[in-house]
């Protein structure tokens, strides 16, 4: 139940309110990313919390440990349920964020991003000087993140098994899901919600498959009932 995180990829509070009102009790989790946070700021998080929703604050921190620890404290203050970090920020940075959480009484959880799905194997070598396949790099970075205290990993559904083999208790959050008859848009490799959940995804991030659809509430109910 409540395994769907709806991505609020919009720029205005009024769009947020209309999505949240339309989805009602069918959606518990909302993702606030850079676009919405830069446009409307903290009041979006406050609004979602006031509506008793869980917030996935997807700002993908990547900075020196001290700065990330302080940013984590602000996310804790806002009562964010999930925050994201780049595992490329190294274990010192992830540990600093985890320490900030452990020093507080908050339930905020860290999700680490390994290799962005927009990065190809060729770019990994040319621009980042990283050898090995995407899968090897995902495995390596997820292992570091796990050991440094990350509670979970954001990954493509195709990487679920790689990540769960490291630690079966990691929270696995997967974007890149599409309903069978949906357009793929700019997503390159996609799975259906049922396939991703069967492979062990803890939460699905869904945007365009729900937003703008008249029957979005029914789609959510169908996915949830196929799982339960
Ligand atoms: O509309 P769609 O379902 O493709 O939206 C997916 C959401 O997940 C967007 O907010 C997108 O930025 C995010 N995301 C993604 N792929 C990743 C990481 C995040 O699509 N690898």
Query: Contact at 8 Å (CB) between 61 and 37?
Result: no
Whether 41 has a pLDDT exceeding 70, the answer reads: yes
CATH architecture label of 4-219:
Alpha-Beta Barrel (3.20)
Atom 14 of ligand 1, residue of closest alpha carbon = 175
Whether 89 has a pLDDT exceeding 90, the answer reads: yes
Atom 18 of ligand 1, residue of closest alpha carbon = 175
Cα–Cα distance measured from residue 160 to residue 140, given in angstroms and rounded to the nearest whole number: 14
Q: Compute the average pLDDT of residues 19-37.
A: 98
Place of tokens 């962005």: 116
Task: Count the Cβ atoms, other than its own, within 10 Å of residue 53.
Answer: 18
Whether 3 is catalytic is no
3, 31, 53, 60: the catalytic one is 60
What is residue 112's DSSP assignment? Answer: E
Give yes or no for residue 224 CB within 6 A of ligand 1: no
Task: Count the Cβ atoms, other than its own, within 10 Å of residue 169.
Answer: 9
Provide the whole-model pTM. Answer: 0.96
Separation of CA 103 and ligand 1 centre (Å): 31
Give yes or no for residue 89 CB within 6 A of ligand 1: no
Whether 162 has a pLDDT exceeding 70, the answer reads: yes
Give yes or no for residue 84 CB within 6 A of ligand 1: no
Nearest to 19 by CA among 39, 42, 48: 48
Give yes or no for residue 117 CB within 6 A of ligand 1: yes
What is residue 157's DSSP assignment? Answer: G
Q: What are phi and psi of 166, to 5 degrees?
A: -80, -45
Whether 11 has a pLDDT exceeding 90, the answer reads: yes
């Amino acid at each position: 139940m409540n395994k769907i995180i709806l991505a609020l990829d919009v720029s205005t509070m009024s769009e947020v309110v209309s999505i949240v009102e339309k989805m009602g009790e069918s959606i518990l989790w909302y993702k606030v990313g850079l676009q919405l946070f830069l446009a409307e700021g903290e009041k979006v998080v406050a609004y979602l919390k006031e509506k008793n929703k869980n917030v996935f604050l997807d700002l993908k921190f990547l900075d020196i440990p001290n700065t990330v620890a302080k940013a984590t404290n602000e996310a804790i203050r806002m009562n964010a349920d999930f925050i994201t970090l780049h595992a490329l920020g190294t274990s010192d940075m992830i540990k600093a964020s985890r320490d900030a959480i452990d020093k507080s009484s908050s339930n905020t959880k860290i999700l680490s991003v390994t290799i962005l799905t927009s990065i190809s194997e060729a770019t990994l070598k040319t621009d980042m000087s990283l050898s090995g396949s995407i899968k090897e790099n995902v495995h390596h970075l997820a292992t570091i993140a796990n050991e440094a205290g990350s509670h979970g990993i954001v990954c493509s559904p195709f990487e679920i098994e790689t990540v769960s083999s490291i630690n079966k208790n990691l929270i696995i959050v997967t974007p890149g899901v599409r309903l069978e008859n949906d357009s793929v848009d700019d997503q390159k490799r996609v799975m259906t919600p049922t396939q991703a959940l069967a492979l062990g995804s803890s939460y699905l991030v869904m945007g365009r498959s729900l937003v703008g659809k008249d029957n979005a509430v029914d789609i959510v109910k169908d996915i949830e009932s196929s799982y339960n």
